[in-house]
Amino acid sequence: MKRILFSLLLSLILIVPNGHAEETVPVASELKVALPGMAEVMPRLARLAEEKTLLDTRLGVLTNLAAFQAPLGELRNRNAELQRLSDRLGTPQEWSVDQLVQVRALLDNQKAAASRLLGDVSGRLEELDTLHRDWLERQAFWEAWQNSVTPGQRQITRQGFSDARRLLQQIEQQFIEVSRPLVALQSEVTELQTALNAQTGLIEEALAARRGQVFQKTGPSFLNSDFYRQFNPQLWTFFLGSLKRLGEMDAFFWHTQGWLAVL
């Protein structure tokens, strides 16, 4: 009797499915997106032409450089003024600390203006690059679509694909042409910015040298006879030259930064 009960219990265990057993999940097959049929060639070609019209409008906005003429002209003029001032004052090592600080402030303003202008130009180039990548994807789509057409359909769709290819080639050439003036403008602003950075570097070197001389003895004491020998015609000439350079610096500073007086 016990053997019969044991056999029945064992049979039930084997028959009833285990609720905790691992289930096998079927792997879905890879789906492939089908390209349009030949009936879609002409409608999509018409849509492509409409999209090109919209692209032409946007490219016209991006390549209109009129908004950059005023800030670029001002940047050029201020850089030229700073260069003329530097030529009159001599090397930064000959300037006073006040002159160094004032010119550095002018250079900082110029660098900020150049950075803003460069950011605006680079922003347009980035948008232009995004549009270009989008149209390259369209070109790849049309090429793949044309290659998928059966030999029997090629005669029917040949003209549509030919027109699409010609249109896409025109757009590719258009991207090349419209990017040139923006790249040239970006290069010019970058060169101006590089020149400003170089001038700032020279002034920073001069200021660092002056800071190192603060605690150095640069002349004889009052009790030394050499102190009185230095009051000669050469010193007077140097004093007058320094005074003249200081006047030029102040005049240039208020000419370029006079708006500060109203604050």
pLDDT in tens, 83-126: 898 888 888 888 888 889 999 999 999 999 999 999 999 999 99
Please indicate, yes or no, if residue 174 is contained in any of the structural domains.
Answer: yes
Bigger pLDDT: 217 or 233? Answer: 233
Owning domain of residue 198: 97-212
Hey, what amino acid is at 60? G
Q: What is the pLDDT of residue 90?
A: 86
CA distance 175 to 171: 6
Q: What is the reported pLDDT for 239?
A: 54
pLDDT at 242: 58
Which pLDDT score, from 0 to 100, does residue 255 have? 55
Task: For residue 255, tell me if it sits in a domain.
Answer: no
Torsion over CA: 194, 196, 199, 205 (sign): negative
Confidence grade of residue 5 (pLDDT, cut at 50, 70, 90): very low
- Of the pLDDT bands very low, low, confident and very high (cuts 50, 70, 90), residue 40 is very high
- Which of 94, 97, 91 is CA-nearest to residue 238? 94
What b-and-e string marks burial along 39-64, b requiring 16 or more CB atoms within 10 Å of the CB? Answer: eebeebbeebeeebeebeeebeebee
Q: How far apart are alpha carbons 43 and 50 in whole angstroms?
A: 11
**2 pLDDT above the threshold of 60:** no
What pLDDT, on the 0 to 100 scale, is given for residue 94?
86
d(CA 141, CA 155): 20
Q: What is the pLDDT of residue 31?
A: 34
Structure tokens at 195: 């020149």
In a domain, 175, yes or no: yes
pLDDT in tens, 177-231: 999 999 999 999 999 999 999 999 999 999 998 887 655 455 555 556 665 555 6
Two structure tokens written together for 62: 């991006």
Task: Tell me the chain's radius of gyration from C-alpha atoms.
Answer: 38
Better pLDDT: 26 or 63: 63
Query: pTM of the entire structure?
Result: 0.67
Domain assignment of residue 173, yes or no? yes
In a domain, 204, yes or no: yes
Q: What does the alpha-carbon distance between residue 263 and residue 256 come to, in Å, rounded to a whole number? A: 15
Q: What is the chain's mean pLDDT, rounded? A: 79
> Which amino acid type is present at position 85?
L
Does 68 reside within a domain?
A: no
Cα torsion through 208, 210, 214, 216, rounded to 10: 100
- Does residue 18 fall inside a structural domain? no
Question: How many domains does the chain contain in total?
Answer: 1
Within a domain: 248: no
